[in-house]
Chains A and B, each alone.
Chain A
Amino acid sequence: MESGAASNAVGRARLSCGPDPDKGSLMDARLSDQADRDADADLLSRYAAGDAAAARLLAARLTPRLYAYAVRVLADEAAAQDVVQEAMLRVWKIAPDWRAGEAQVSTWAYRVVANLCTDLLRKQRTVALDAVAEPIDPAPTAEGRMQDAARLDALQAALSTLPDRQRQAVVLRHIEGLSNTEIGGILGVGVEAVESLTARGKRGLTTALSGQRAALGFEDDG
């Protein structure tokens, strides 16, 4: 059974997922972030007290975000699954010792994924570049969405050419939509370093994608 407060927190947090239709309201965004934080911490606390339903809710909230992040960074769905399962296992294990208020559960989980991805990518450096940079299709290509699929493939291929830290920073900032402060906490660097990583990452992507704009249907966009 969910407590009323927790349900409300989860509900508010769910509304905050995905693109924010009201980007102009900074106050709403802050409230939403706070609700997210409270909901995750509350669910983890309830899990630590033996609430299985809370575990399912927390898994449903965190796993998709962590998986999307890992897939973008690793460009390997199987490896991303292993990484996310391991990260979530660590979340369950830390639950009894979790100190609410000291860190965000999602930030902590992202950091575990980031470290696991870094370790994995370090091991993969001996593998041929072509094998690492193989683009994947993160979403099934539907009829009439060929252009989007081509763009996603191109983005994934371009991301795979970036150094590990730049790739993680760009994915967290521009696809996962996290703040520079959160990304700094995840990658263990300051905000300025995050800005530098994302700026260099974007330049790297632009270079990697140069010459493909027409093929990707961007010539008519400007």
Chain B
Amino acid sequence: MDKDKADQSLDALFDAARAAPPKVPDALMAAVVADAAAQMPAPRGGGSLVQRALAALGGLPALGGMVTATCVGFWLGLAPPEGLPDVGEAIWALGTENTTELAMVDVYDGGWISGIEEGFEDE
């Protein structure tokens, strides 16, 4: 009988505890959610091969920069501003045996282009 009463008392205590769970502090919930955001895994890789390659390069902005740099370099090679050697023309000229054209390339008195010209003249 006493044991039954003791069990009933315990059950009543458990019921009371279950009915009044400790309230989670707002600060704890905020910290848990903040941790979740900080640990959020990056979205898993999806999309086509081209899309993933583009992402690996840094996305469209990076690709735009690369295209611009390539175009500028190509243009400088074809039509260099005054004061820069016309390397493109020198290279194309080396593909021929016309020393007259090489003479036109020599925009400086001296330097490697002049040396090239002299080498051809020696022949």
Contacts and interface: CB of A to CB of B under 8 A. Distances in A.
A144 interface: no
A92 B39 contact: yes
Contacts of A140: 23
Interface residues of A, number: 50
Contacts of A93: 39
Given A49-B43, A85-B28, A92-B36, A64 B21 contact: yes
Interface residue SS majority, chain A: helix
B84 interface: no
A113 to B, nearest CB: 13
B12 A19 contact: no
A55 B37 contact: yes
B20 interface: yes
A85 B33 CA distance: 10
A202 B43 contact: no
A209 B33 CA distance: 39
Interface residues of B, number: 36
Contacts of B10: 174, 202, 205-206, 209
Interface in A61-77: 63-64, 67-68, 71-72, 77
Contacts of B43: 49-50
Contacts, number: 128
A205 B14 CA distance: 11
Nearest to A156: B17
Nearest to B41: A96
A63 B28 contact: yes
Contacts of B13: 151-152, 154-155, 205, 209, 216
B31 interface: yes
Contact of B22 (A19, A48, A71, A205): A71
Contacts of A213: 5-6, 9
A111 to B, nearest CB: 18
B12 A218 contact: yes
Q: Most B CB atoms within 10 A — which of A68, A209, A213?
A: A68
A174 B14 contact: yes
Interface in B22-61: 22-25, 27-29, 31-33, 35-37, 39-44
A59 B5 contact: no
Contacts of B5: 213, 218, 221-222
Contacts of B9: 206, 209, 213, 216, 218, 221
17 contacts: A49-B43, A55-B36, A55-B37, A58-B36, A59-B32, A81-B25, A81-B27, A81-B28, A88-B32, A92-B35, A138-B21, A151-B12, A174-B10, A174-B14, A177-B18, A206-B6, A210-B6
